[in-house]
Every structure is written in structure tokens, then in C-alpha cells.
Amino acid sequence: MLAAEFSEMCYQYEGFHVWEIENIDAFFKGNEVLTKIFFDYYSIPYEEFKERRSEIQDTDYQMMTKLLGKVDDKYFFIFTLHDENHMELVKMQRMKVMDFGINIEEIRNDRVYVMIMDKVAK
């Protein structure tokens, strides 16, 4: 599931981990459940993804966002260098609201990043 308004809701999450994704292949290799979700969502077997890529109008980033939104047991906050989500995390780091385990300001401009977390049990 996707987390929204992270800076206001970060206290509701725990177990933070930042996933640096080099490309769409690395995304699918990151967890095999993503290939199953891909098939359910796009009705294309992952094995045919490269040859049928033109059938999918979504960009790689849009595809990652949609597929992560279908994962039930984790929460995700997706960002790239200087996008709105990244700037929110930079602000939180500067204000020392959170420590992400990496310097969130020094991420690469050719990668997609995903903050992976769990919802705090009540």
C-alpha cells in the first residue's frame, strides 16, 4: 500500500528501510511477488514483459507505483531526486524528525527510491 502525507503520518510507521532501484529489472528482482502482481494487473506474464513492453502505456515509475500500491503487507513511499516526496523527506531529515539510515539529500538522479515500512501495531 502507498503511504501518503508521510511527514504528518510518519509516527504511524516503523521498520523503515530505503530500497534503491536501478531500473525496472531490479524492481522485479527485488521481490518475486511483484511479478505475480504484474500479471494480475497488466494480464501479461512477466516473462513476456520486455517483448510486450509497448503494450503498457505506463512509464516504469508509474508501473512501480501502481504495483507497490497492490502489496498488502507493507507500506511504501516512492521518491526520486528533487520530486515532491523527496523534498518532504529532506525537510524531515533537516529538522531531525527522522533518521533514514542514509543521507536522504545525497541520492542519485538516475534511480527510483522506495521507503519500505510497516504500520505500527495498535
Asked whether residue 46 is assigned to any structural domain, the reply reads no
Asked whether residue 34 is assigned to any structural domain, the reply reads no
Alpha helices by DSSP H, listed for the chain, are 6-9, 24-29, 33-42, 60-68, 84-94
Q: What is this structure's pTM? A: 0.90
Number of domains in the chain: 1
Asked whether residue 16 is assigned to any structural domain, the reply reads yes
Strands 75-79, 13-21: pairing kind: unpaired
The CA distance from 15 to 64, in Å, is 21
Q: What does each of the 122 residues of the chain score in pLDDT, given as a tens digit?
A: 676 678 888 888 999 999 999 999 999 999 999 999 999 999 999 999 999 999 999 999 999 999 999 998 899 999 999 999 999 999 999 999 888 889 999 999 999 999 999 988 86
pLDDT value of residue 21: 98
Domain enclosing residue 99, as ranges: 6-23+58-119
pLDDT value of residue 97: 87
Asked whether residue 18 is assigned to any structural domain, the reply reads yes
Asked whether residue 38 is assigned to any structural domain, the reply reads no
